[in-house]
Every structure is written in C-alpha cells, then in structure tokens.
Structure 1
Amino acid sequence: MKKLILLSVLAAAGAAHADVIYSNGPVVGGNGLSVLASPASTYGFGMNTAAGISVADDFTVAAGTVWNVQSLDFFGYQTGASGFTFTGATWSIVSGDVNNGTVVASGSGAVTNGGLQGYRVLESTLTNTQRGIYKANADVSDFQLAAGTYWLRWSLTGSLASGPWQPPTSDAREGNAAQALSGAPFATLTEAGSGLTVELPFGVNGTIAAAVPEPSTYLLMLAGGLAVAGVARRRRQAQ
C-alpha cells in the first residue's frame, strides 16, 4: 500500500512539473553578455514597483491550444548588486489592448532566485560585472490561457536603491515593448540613443494542451459525420 501511495505521489509531482512553454528572450548571448552597442545608450528601463513604473510586452497562444500557466520568469538587475536582490513581483496578463484590455490573471508576491544569467555591459567594458542580470521566478496560482494575443505587464521590487532595471533582449531586435511611468498609460518603449523600439525578455512556465472543442463544435462534427455516412449509404443502395 505504501509503495502504491509513493508511486501516486511521484506521478502527481511529475504531472505538476512546469516546463518553459514560452520565452521572449534571449536574455544574454552565448558569451553570457547583454551588450549595449552604439548608438544605443540605455542600459536598462525602469520597472520599479515602489515608484509605480511597469513594463509590458505581448505574446500569442497558438490556435487550437490551451496554456496551463504555473509560474513566470522575469529578468533584471540592480546596479552594484553582488547577488540576487529581488524581493517581489507585481504582474498582470491582459487580453486585448495593453491599457484597456481585459485582465485575465494577476498577482503580487515574493520571487525566488532563478540564477545569474549574465551581465549587461558596454562594447568597451565587456568584463564589467556591475550589472548582473538575474532570473526572478514568480510562482502563481495555476490559470489557463486560451488561444489569442495577450500582454504581460510587470514590475519588480529589490533590496537596493538602484532600479530594478529591465534590460532589452540581447539580440537588440525591434518590437513593441511598452512602459508606464507612475500612473501614466503604457507607451511604446524607444531606446534613447538609437531611436529604435525594443523587446523585453520574460518566460512563461507550465504545460500546453490541445483545446477541447465547444459542445456546438461537437454537434457540427457529429452532423457532418452523419451526413457523410448518409451519402455513402445512398451510394451503396444505388449500385
């Protein structure tokens, strides 16, 4: 009996394992660096919960699938930190417009140390270790996302005075990431030196399943199957 209980517990633990189901990275390159390359001039963008500053970026759940979300990964730094200094995350997921869409999930709470990812540096100071980028993992109450486009909005708290700061993706690709300053609406982030838009790294962890058709869809499928069967039967009778 004890063996059966243990196997059941292990099976349940395996089923609950959260895999990375979406990454908006990369956070750093293969050399472990996120390089601020000229003419760009912004090390990181503010995402300080205490100052009312948040950032946001969008993602899409593919048609025919459902995401079961179990945790979220955020990436940032506090200048001069010698280790993991993040203490909490505030986040929400919005369907539709980043400012006026429908909030489908949200939360605020402690984060755990997901490890040092690398460093935010200049082209001329590749060995600088002042800006260590860490992963902050936020465990969430499981929720589901159906197919569609969403915005993830977030901010972090930290134990140091600097930041928290949000680096862009290390590939410096353009995108539609946004930032909201102290109660103002979200607006597209533009890198000050280059004038280009940016993307922000984040991760979603959980499982992906095939979407279950609505009852009306089942009825249509059944009706279609009956119609095909009827045609086949009439053809056999006519032979």
Structure 2
Amino acid sequence: MKKALLIAAFIAANFGIAQTYNNGGLSTGATSKSGTAAPAGYTWSELQNNTGNTTESNTSLGLGGTSSSAAASFFLADDFTVPAGSSWQITTIDFFAYQTNYAGTTAPFNTVRVNIFNSDPSVAGATSVFGDDTTNRFSAGVDATMYRTGNTVVPAAAVPGTTRKIWKITANTPVTLGAGTYWIKYQLQNVVMANAGFLPPVTIVGSRGLPAFNAKQFDAILGTWTSLVDAGNPTSAPDVPLDMPFVITFTATTLGTQETMQYDNRIQVYPNPVKDHFRINNPERLRISSVEIMDVSGKIVRTLKGSEEYSVSDLPKGNYILKIKNEGGHTKITKLIKQ
C-alpha cells in the first residue's frame, strides 16, 4: 500500500498556514531492489547505491543519536533555512529512529531533547535560540510504517529484514524564527535507557548522498564534533556526507485558500532549497508528463514539461508547491523552496 508520510493543511486567506518542512526522506518504496514486497501497509527504507554502480552501496543503517548510559551519549545536528521575508512559528519537530529487534506496539522512545542554534553549533560563536540539551520535549511516538534494511542487490544479494521498524518521534518546540539558517541539535532516549536506538540518515533512491549534505554528531562525553559520512560497502568505496531527516511543522501568515494537500515522502526534489535548477528523485519510475509550480495561494505560476532537470533561476524567492503529474493521470505533491 502506498503510504504518504506528510500531510500539510493550507488554511484560509490572511491567516496562519499550517505547513511542513521536510529535511529529507527515508522511504524507498514498497518493493526492495531485489523485488521483495514490504509487509502490508509498510515501505522499505533501503540503503542505496548510485544508479549504474553495481559494486558499491551505503553502509549506514542508523547513527548514534541517543543517550544510553553514563558512558554513551550522542547528539545529532543538521541545518534548515527559513527563507528571506518569512517567519516560521514552529510548533513541533518530528524525528525518526529504530530499536533493533523491538517488537512492541508502542514507541520504544519517550525522550527528545532539542536545542536550536543560529549557526553551526560545532563552530565557536553559535548561540542557542531555543531549547537546551536536557529538557525532555517528547510529545508522541508513532509507527512510521517503514522498515530500515540494507541494500538487497549491491554489492551482493541479500534478503530485506523487518527487525528495524522506524518510529516517528515528535517533540514540542514552540518557537518563532525569522529568516536565516538554523541548526537543530537533538537527542533521543529509549524507554529502557540501555536499549540504545539508532537514527537512519536521509535516503534518496539511486543516490548514496548529495555533496551538500552536512549533518554532524556530537559526543557529549568527550565533547567532540564529527561530520557524518557513510564509509561505503565495501570499505574501498568512497566516503559520502550524510544528512538527517526531520519534519518541522510551522505556520506563516500569507495569502492562501482552504485546501488540503497530501505530500508523498518518496518524491524527493533536490537540491531543495534551490537556486537555479532542480531534479526529481523518482523511485516509482513514473513517466512525468508535467510539473506545475504553484505559490502558497494555489495559483499556478509555471507549468513545465517532464524533463531530467527543471530551471527556476528566474523564479522569485519564496515557498512553492510542486504538483507532479504522470502520464497515467496520477498526481504527487511536494514542496519547493526557492532561494
């Protein structure tokens, strides 16, 4: 069953518009590279290889971003941008994690610590603008309907596993941020503290990662920062940088119409934010017939024919909605931020 991960409600004109910013996806589809279907109602989050490369794949199933003992405490950090001329009134942030072999029906995590900085917290001079490293901001934990698994084809055939169910963990983060680039430093903690969980990085079908990825890990015991990279499988594969997925729910005052739109987490636009050109990661190999670019009021500002690359260099800065149509008449919707 196809599963849409994100819902964004666009509310009445001149009032707050509830929106979501997605820092990157995890789902790679309901069928693994080897052709195995995911359990009903679920999709895989499968480690990737670059399209055309049949010898090297990613190896990072999940990163340490939890506190599991007095000797093991890690935070993760990644950035996001509030566009020029905008102000985000943030209400919640969703994070994603798994506990290997956990078979319970309720989330195995019950603690989220969030600290938002006005710049890279690994660099001297960064200032916290919200939160801290100690307060528990946990709001909810639900099944994200994905299983994390290794690459089932590259570099060798393997069977996808269902021992790493991914959970969506929501933190209450009431803060208003003006335009600028911010960093989220965060940490989860398991219900049973010693049962350390892991946080899977952003996963893009057909790509081991993008050059702009820049997530970092903080060792709270040693007080040291490390840039996150995937070492590759086999070990001779080149390192690639990683990003971490999170979803920010916020409101902004703008003209709009009352409309509800469904966001498909498997359709990834990159780079996003974009300056000149963007591409569409297309895990279902949809034959795209057109891409409509709409402003937040729902007005179509541009219609583009299906292509490998789309130019928006002359588009004004701001938030847009992409309506991606395939030749079968189906529509996928996602967000685009133009810088």
What is the TM-score normalised by the length of structure 1? 0.74
**What secondary structure is seen at the aligned counterpart in 2 of 1:146?**
strand
Instruction: Call closer, same or farther: CA 1:199–1:119 in 2, change over 3 Å.
Output: same
Which digits, 9 at most, give the CA deviation of each residue in 1:192-222, with x for residues without a partner? 2241101110011120236xxxxxxxxxxxx
CA distance in 2, matches of 1:59, 1:105: 14
The answer to whether the 8 A contact 1:76-1:166 is kept is yes
Corresponding position of 1:113: 141
Instruction: Give 1:20 shift.
Output: 4.0
**AA matched with 2:91:** Q
Instruction: Give 1:150 shift.
Output: 0.5
**1:134 partnered with 2:171:** no
Structure 1, unaligned runs of 5 or more: 1-14, 211-239
CA distance in 2, matches of 1:162, 1:133: 15
The equivalences for 1:1-239 within 5 A come to 19-31=18-30, 32-37=43-48, 38-50=56-68, 51-83=72-104, 84-99=107-122, 100=124, 101-107=126-132, 108-109=135-136, 110-124=138-152, 125=158, 127-140=160-173, 142-160=174-192, 161-171=194-204, 172-174=208-210, 175-181=213-219, 182-193=221-232, 194-209=238-253
Question: Could you list the runs of 4 or more consecutive aligned residues of structure 1 that deviate by over 6 angstroms after TM superposition?
Answer: none
Structure 2, unaligned runs of 5 or more: 1-14, 31-42, 49-55, 153-157, 233-237, 255-339
The answer to whether the 8 A contact 1:28-1:169 is kept is no
What is the TM-score normalised by the length of structure 2? 0.53
**AA matched with 1:103:** S
**What secondary structure is seen at the aligned counterpart in 1 of 2:202?**
coil
**AA matched with 2:86:** T
The answer to whether the 8 A contact 2:92-2:171 is kept is yes
**AA matched with 2:248:** V
CA distance in 1, matches of 2:89, 2:142: 21
CA distance in 2, matches of 1:126, 1:95: 43
Structure with the larger strand share: 2
- The count of aligned residue pairs is 195
Structure with the larger helix share: 1
Residue identity (%): 29
CA distance in 2, matches of 1:183, 1:60: 29
CA RMSD of aligned residues (A): 2.2
Tell me: higher relative CO, structure 1 or 2? Use CA pairs within 8 A at least 6 residues apart: 1
Instruction: Give 1:191 shift.
Output: 1.0
Bigger-Rg structure (1/2): 1
**What secondary structure is seen at the aligned counterpart in 2 of 1:52?**
strand
Instruction: Call closer, same or farther: CA 1:202–1:79 in 2, change over 3 Å.
Output: same
